[in-house]
Structure 1
Amino acid sequence: MKNRTKLLCGLASVASFATLSFAELNTPFQSLPEETIVAFRFDNSPEAIAKYVDSTKIGQLLLSDEKIAEYKAFVEKLIDSEDAEGNFARKLSEVGLEVDDLYQMVTSHIGGAVVDHEVPGHLSMPTLLVWAEMKDGVAEQAFNAILEGAAENEAFERIDLDLPGGPGARIRDNADGSSFLIAQIENRFIFGIGQVREPIPDMEAARVFEEAELEALGQFLMAQIEDGGEFLSSYYSDPGLSEARPDFETRLELLGDVSKLLEFVPTPGIRGIKALGVEEFTKFGVWSGLKDMEERSVIFLGAPAPRSGIAKLLENEFFEFQPPAWVPSSVNAYSAASFDMMKLYDFALETAKKFAPPEQVEQQVAMANGQLQMMLQADIPTLLSAFGNRMHVVEYPIEIETILGPDGTSLDIPRSSQAIVMDFSRPEILQAGMAMLGGMAQNPNSGFELIDEQGFSGVRVKNDVQGTVTIAHGLGKLVFAVGADITSSRIFSALTNLPEGEDALANSPELREYLADGGVKPGMMFSFSRGEQMLKNLAPVMENLSDTMRASSGEEAGELMDELLDLMPSEEELEGLLGIAFSRAYYNESGVVLEGVNQYK
């Protein structure tokens, strides 16, 4: 049943917009109100995609017109096979859309925001606004398709609206009364829906919230026509956010306000938030864009000094990036971070005293110290102070391991392997711990195995899910390794017999060239990887996924996965696509900043 009524928002008439051109509109991102909680914009337009196709090998390989056509054909086939009754396609058609319409929406300037809209006499209503700015005619086509689909479907009621700048409609589900708003303004298709935070006792109350929802959308549209909104100026008045904002053209921009988000945390969680000091965090921002054949990104989290609570944990010692001599060049990735065990312990103790009487916490700590003294001949501060102030993490290439499945048959699974290495100055403490575990290792059902290998002693546990977990010490280091069976042996060998020449990551020509050109500044955390190797490493995972799909979901699912694999680049095609991926984290007076670079070729 179609209900066509005309509702004037009172914000502007369509006629006032008639003489405006598209170029005179403010962007949706510029038009958000100051009450915006979080918002993002992403340029996925054909023009943006063309930059990658024209200037990068990976863009040419993955984003060409021919490749896009292959992707679309696969998605349509996937929908048909996974949805034998055509439910997905039918639901799209019910609102007048086809799969290709969705693709046109996605490949555009897209964005979204949550606005905390006031509702007189009630709790405010977070209202989701989503938009897509598309090529000529597509927005109108999508809008009209939804109007016609709703008009022809008895399950929906359509209410036409006159909105600032163009037409709109409310589409209501007759079954449960829920509804959403759509609008079109020039080449922009806009969706809006409010989230009511309190019970709705009757239809009169429901109308109040629907009017507020409509008002939020109307104000958003009017701001695009007139003077814009206060969202961006409000956020970028924050000095930390403004300073972190990159000077290159960004394709992605995400801004939010932690303090506003915390207002929606349920009452039971507020105590925990205050205890952790999360309320010290202010605004955050994320930016990303292509510059000089590099995908550059910046993440900022506001936490003004002086800091306390969890924000204080972010203030760790700065250091120069230089892989230790033991890190082999064969690793896929290497990370290093400042780490202060005593600071973490003090924070945990301080937090515990906010949830329990301080004397009770102190009593429990005393009991724990007493037990540690008996087992390890050391208390908690002594144990924690033995750790160094730097954590090193290496990630090895993914390997396929064979394990026994629940039914007793063998199963090949991809296994990711990592190792964490820290300095440890009190080996006698660990030796006492190993001696204590020795009794458990005597029991064949315990799963523990004591090891003494290449100058390292410790314990090893095998698990079908996590893989082999090893904790060991030697040469003044504490090693935690997880993944494939050979992970611990690899890291022991690297620490015992230092790699030479270009076998050491520190001597990698690729890394040395990047550090020389990039002028990397000191920071509290760094991460390095070879993008090309990370891509190649996914090949065995995808191949294994095909076998898994065939075994668990049947031959048809396996064939679909094979077709998906055929769309992916071969190992030969992956050669020469990506360079180094590098990131650095640091803090300043305003908060914490994470900068990242991914090189294209």
Structure 2
Amino acid sequence: MREGWFVSLPSPRSGIWTLLEQTPVAAEPPAWLAANVAGFSVMGLDLGKVYAAAKELALQMGGPQAQQVFAQLEGQVQIQLQAGPRELLAALGNQISTVSFPPKKGGAADLAAAEAIPGLAERAAIVWQVRDPAICARLMQLIQAIAPSTQGMMRVANEQGFTGVRIEPPGTGVKVGLFYGKGYLLLGMGTEVCETVMAMISSPPQGNAAFSASPLLARAKTLLPPEPAFSYSVSDLSRALPDLRETITQLLQAPQAFQAIPGLPAEAPPQLDPQQAALMEKLTQLLPTAEELEGMLGASTSLMLINSQGIIGRSATELAPP
């Protein structure tokens, strides 16, 4: 199955549309990516340019008041990091990679929390290959200095040669980590995501263990030949569909599950009445089973290109044989 679309935005562009003037990235997986991930994407986006364009638009619309707000913001950031917001964001570089992982069940407490709060079972990471290590190191030092004052919500964590913090509020099932090291800044969400990404960066997989040598990437290249682009992605939908089913199931069951969270505030939404609960149960039963979803879709890949005429999107997905 192939899809395509086009948005006409010819050059020269002005205002917010100058954000489209980005340097394309190679349509290939990061060298550190392992073959056993569920999918990845890369994007060429300079957040420093995004900040500059957003500031210009805000000043045009907000006038002197907006000017004052930005002056205060930039002054505070400059004092703390010896760099302004634009320099800070530009320091992250212009290549952003996202990685998705198959679900992994934690302990009993984590599982109960994940069932109560939809979406916590998702495991993913965002990774920047930074351009200015000095600024990123100062940023992490500042964040670590704040951690002790968060009453346990955030704790300092130095692991595998990376410095960072973990945000894991007790009883919530939330597992988030922000780490910097070895030229990368990573934000991980989910059980064992940060440690997995740090291990891959520290010791990149070789041979068939690398995503670059995976059958999934080979099939994706056959579906849609890669080329330098604004963004490029490859994923295994045979894994993603069962995960999506689980997420939808959690959403349908969320009203009942929230009642089981310890220390639920008195103003929390009331429990469903029997008719509403029965309806949610019927909707859950209508969903296809994991076995029925198996093999329905396979490799999926997409490209987004930006040229002098506008934005071009292309995607292709393997379908099960008839």
TM-score, scaled to structure 2: 0.79
Aligned to 1:350: 56
Aligned to 1:596: 315
Q: 2:91, 2:136 within 8 Å by CA — same for their partners in 1?
A: no
Q: 2:186 aligns with which of 475, 479, 498?
A: 479
More strand by proportion, 1 or 2? Answer: 1
Q: Cα distance, 1:489 vs. partner?
A: 1.5
Cα 1:553/1:403, change in 2 over 3 Å: farther
Alpha-carbon distance between aligned partners in 1 of 2:147 and 2:65, rounded to the nearest angstrom: 38
Q: 1:577 aligns with which of 296, 300, 321?
A: 296
Aligned to 1:93: none
Aligned to 1:383: 88
Cα 1:569/1:348, change in 2 over 3 Å: closer
1:373 is aligned to 2:78: yes
Deviations 1:71-90 (A, max 9, x none): xxxxxxxxxxxxxxxxxxxx
Aligned to 1:443: 149
Aligned to 1:303: 9
Q: 2:175 aligns with which of 468, 478, 483?
A: 468
1:454 is aligned to 2:160: yes
Which structure: larger Rg? 1
Cα 1:411/1:581, change in 2 over 3 Å: closer
Aligned to 2:201: 495
Aligned to 1:394: 99
Alpha-carbon distance between aligned partners in 2 of 1:411 and 1:433, rounded to the nearest angstrom: 30
Alpha-carbon distance between aligned partners in 2 of 1:379 and 1:546, rounded to the nearest angstrom: 44
Cα 1:348/1:465, change in 2 over 3 Å: farther
Q: Cα distance, 1:319 vs. partner?
A: 3.2
3-state DSSP of counterpart to 1:553: coil
Q: Cα distance, 1:421 vs. partner?
A: 0.7
Cα 1:563/1:320, change in 2 over 3 Å: same
Alpha-carbon distance between aligned partners in 1 of 2:127 and 2:110, rounded to the nearest angstrom: 31
RMSD, aligned α-carbons: 3.2
Q: Cα distance, 1:557 vs. partner?
A: 5.8
Q: 1:502, 1:509 within 8 Å by CA — same for their partners in 2?
A: no
Q: 2:299, 2:318 within 8 Å by CA — same for their partners in 1?
A: yes
1:2-21 aligned within 5 A: none
Alpha-carbon distance between aligned partners in 1 of 2:57 and 2:16, rounded to the nearest angstrom: 9
Stretches of structure 1 lacking an aligned partner (at least 5 in a row): 1-293
Instruction: Give the partner amino acid of 2:197.
Output: I
Q: 1:440, 1:446 within 8 Å by CA — same for their partners in 2?
A: no
Alpha-carbon distance between aligned partners in 2 of 1:364 and 1:560, rounded to the nearest angstrom: 49
Alpha-carbon distance between aligned partners in 1 of 2:254 and 2:144, rounded to the nearest angstrom: 39
Aligned to 1:59: none
Deviations 1:150-194 (A, max 9, x none): xxxxxxxxxxxxxxxxxxxxxxxxxxxxxxxxxxxxxxxxxxxxx
Alpha-carbon distance between aligned partners in 1 of 2:55 and 2:256, rounded to the nearest angstrom: 51
3-state DSSP of counterpart to 2:155: strand
Alpha-carbon distance between aligned partners in 1 of 2:175 and 2:134, rounded to the nearest angstrom: 25
Aligned to 1:103: none
Cα 1:466/1:375, change in 2 over 3 Å: farther
Q: Cα distance, 1:443 vs. partner?
A: 3.5
Instruction: Give the partner amino acid of 1:338.
Output: G
Q: 2:223, 2:316 within 8 Å by CA — same for their partners in 1?
A: no
Alpha-carbon distance between aligned partners in 1 of 2:149 and 2:26, rounded to the nearest angstrom: 47
Alpha-carbon distance between aligned partners in 2 of 1:452 and 1:309, rounded to the nearest angstrom: 42
Deviations 1:479-520 (A, max 9, x none): 1122x2422112112211222333322111131143146333
1:32-47 aligned within 5 A: none
Alpha-carbon distance between aligned partners in 2 of 1:396 and 1:595, rounded to the nearest angstrom: 24
Stretches of structure 2 lacking an aligned partner (at least 5 in a row): 258-270
Q: 1:403, 1:410 within 8 Å by CA — same for their partners in 2?
A: yes
Q: 2:4, 2:313 within 8 Å by CA — same for their partners in 1?
A: yes
Q: Cα distance, 1:333 vs. partner?
A: 2.4
Aligned to 2:115: 412
Aligned to 2:231: 525
Q: Cα distance, 1:313 vs. partner?
A: 0.9
Q: Cα distance, 1:451 vs. partner?
A: 1.0
Alpha-carbon distance between aligned partners in 1 of 2:225 and 2:147, rounded to the nearest angstrom: 50
3-state DSSP of counterpart to 1:412: helix
Q: Cα distance, 1:328 vs. partner?
A: 2.2
Q: Cα distance, 1:566 vs. partner?
A: 4.9
TM-score, scaled to structure 1: 0.45
Cα 1:386/1:545, change in 2 over 3 Å: closer
Alpha-carbon distance between aligned partners in 1 of 2:250 and 2:65, rounded to the nearest angstrom: 55
Cα 1:596/1:465, change in 2 over 3 Å: farther
Cα 1:492/1:448, change in 2 over 3 Å: same
Q: 1:456, 1:472 within 8 Å by CA — same for their partners in 2?
A: yes
Give percent identity, aligned residues only: 28
1:79-228 aligned within 5 A: none
Residues 549-558 or 582-591, more deviating: 549-558
Q: Cα distance, 1:473 vs. partner?
A: 0.6
Cα 1:436/1:512, change in 2 over 3 Å: same
Alpha-carbon distance between aligned partners in 2 of 1:411 and 1:340, rounded to the nearest angstrom: 34
Aligned to 1:421: 127
Aligned to 1:326: 32
